[in-house]
Copies of this chain bind each other. A is one copy, B any other.
Amino acid sequence: MKIIIYPGSFDPVTNGHIDIIIRAARLCDKLIVAVANNESKKAVFSLEERVELLKRSLAGMENVEVTSFTGLLSEFVKKNKASAIIKGLRTVSDYEYELQMALINKSLSPEVETLFLVADIKYSFLSSSIVRELAKLGGNIEGLVPDCIKETVIKKLGNN
């Protein structure tokens, strides 16, 4: 059974993430969406909230599992006997950062592969921080996050 890990902060999950999840799930037997519990990178949503928003958004997807992890990603991958990490690459993006992460993870655990999928072009400018910024300024986040979590995101971030 091929297991793939999709790690991230998901602060909060966006439709760009959902697109990658749907496509990645088709390429393996089980996809584990893994929320990083990274103390040095302050998240706006708590770890529990981020996991819950993902679970709500992915309800009904059969071979997708949502969880969180602490510590090194490469350790988490090995513990789960996953064959690869998967990440999205946006055309307008942090390509160099993702490449660096892939090389570090390969240096730490040569058997752990990182696969990249190109983000759908219509989400190429989308990121969690864009969603947070927009929600805070009262902008419309319709179509940027799953409909079922939209109100929760606005309630948390909006200044109304």
Contact = CB atoms under 8 A, between A and B. Distances in A.
Interface string A128-140: 0010011011111
Q: Which 7 A-B pairs have the closest CB atoms?
A: A103-B125, A116-B116, A91-B91, A102-B118, A92-B100, A100-B125, A72-B137
A121 B121 contact: yes
A106 interface: yes
A61 interface: no
Most buried by B among A72, A92, A114, A121: A92
| Copies of the polypeptide in the assembly | 6
A83 interface: yes
Contact of A103 (B40, B92, B106, B139): B92
B92 A99 contact: yes
B121 A103 contact: yes
A138 B124 CA distance: 29
A93 B102 CA distance: 14
B92 A96 contact: yes
Contacts of A26: 83, 113
A71 interface: yes
Contacts of A107: 125
B103 A91 contact: yes
A105 to B, nearest CB: 10
Contacts of A130: 100, 104
Interface string A17-49: 000000100110000000000001000000000
